[in-house]
Structure 1
Amino acid sequence: MTTILVTGGTGTLGRLVVERLRADGHEVRVLSRHAQPYAVDLREGGAGLDAAVEGVEAIVHCATSPRGGDEQAAAHLIAAARRAGVPHLVYISIVGVDVVPLGYYKAKLAVEKLIEESGLGWTILRTTQFHDLVVQLLAALTKLPVLLLPAGVSDQPIEVAEVAERLAELAVGGPAGRVEDMGGPEVRTFPSLAGAYLRATGKRRPLARLRLAGKAYRAFRDGGHLTPRRAVGKGTFEDYLAGRFGSESKR
């Protein structure tokens, strides 16, 4: 049995990693801002963080925030891991962080570099976006009478449970460096994804394609966030919709 700390262990991905590791018989510590006994804000660090990492054999770092603070949080975690002599740090990142000049992506890439230069044993896994993030985006866009979609942009969503399974597998293995990316099973245009979402939810919206400006949009349009050669995911977007909204999503 291995003792493993999962940061962000109550989040969308982290809680599934925790469940998977516990199902495999490992002792898992859950770290988040409100999860006792390891309620820690990684952006602040402190004694609670040292207690959380003491004696663990691996850390799976899932905690993240698009609102900022990821680099500071990672620096605190790395410092605590060094003090405790933790032999393995596993980090979940995003396909395209080195290509798409988006603020959040830049922060994820900066965290990768911190980990690579940390002196710790490390493993980094990059994946494409989760199905639920695509749904969150489309749900927000359908609040308008016309569903405005970024022209020329595709996505490759992946099932979060598959990513959790892979992270759990990596956590109990030795440090592996940058492992192969994980992409969803299909590269889909946004009109295709939006059509599936509308059918699943019973909503009706006319679609309009909006051409945006900027380097980030150009990188998305060029597919910098996709990994078609690593389309290893099994669960499709329709599978996810069917599970969330009902069997009508399959039609």
Structure 2
Amino acid sequence: MSVPSREAVAARLRAAGCVFAEEEADLILATAGTAAEAADLVERRAGGLPLEQVVGWAEFHGRRVVVEPGVFVPRRRTEFLVDQALAAAPHARVVVDLCCGSGAVGAALAAALAPLELHAADVDPAAVRCARRNLAEWGAQVHRGDLFAALPQRLRGRIDLLAANVPYVPTGEIALLPPEARDHEPRTALDGGGDGLDVLRRVAAGAPRWLAPGGRLLVETGERQAPHAVEAFTRSGLTARVHADEESAAWVVTGTRDRADTET
């Protein structure tokens, strides 16, 4: 059995609806070690599996991040969250990647901020396993559980930088997502409740007890949801600000805990 040609692979992918068939064909052929593996990868992609899960990695903030089957694929627009986090807290030493998925955000932050104490958490066991692979080089502790309940109590009042790529798709809009996301990524990483802000509100409400004085919380959200996210941050006592990058369709809300606030 011979390895299929780039033209044959691209044609199969194009017929399956892949817009960037040629580029995807190159990645699949570069990944496959044998003709049989190449054929299997092509059919998995043609069947709707996200390309990143097919080849086993995603490009994110200049790094290759391992992406295992069933794990949320890091979006390129989330690089804006990383950029805003680094600008807001360039000297952070205690960092948490909440709703971490593959750990892509934590890995990007660690690459820029190390040495640091890095923690990550997710409710999905597949995500936790994947994040441990991606964050191992920084000695990160990756915890499984529901938001702050997953974190060790010794972090209360000590977190300099808390990045949370929360799910923010409204429940009623899940069906409108591309099948790669809708059918192959965990619903817990996508579904943000009725207006998409259920998890964000919980993170905003709990963050002040975990942030160090002057600590920053950064959350990605949608354009129409950003004003309501600011309200949630403000109600929890954080000083909120919206950052937007229209080119990548990315919106990030930053919340800062007052340095004079000594509650833990």
TM-score (norm 2): 0.37
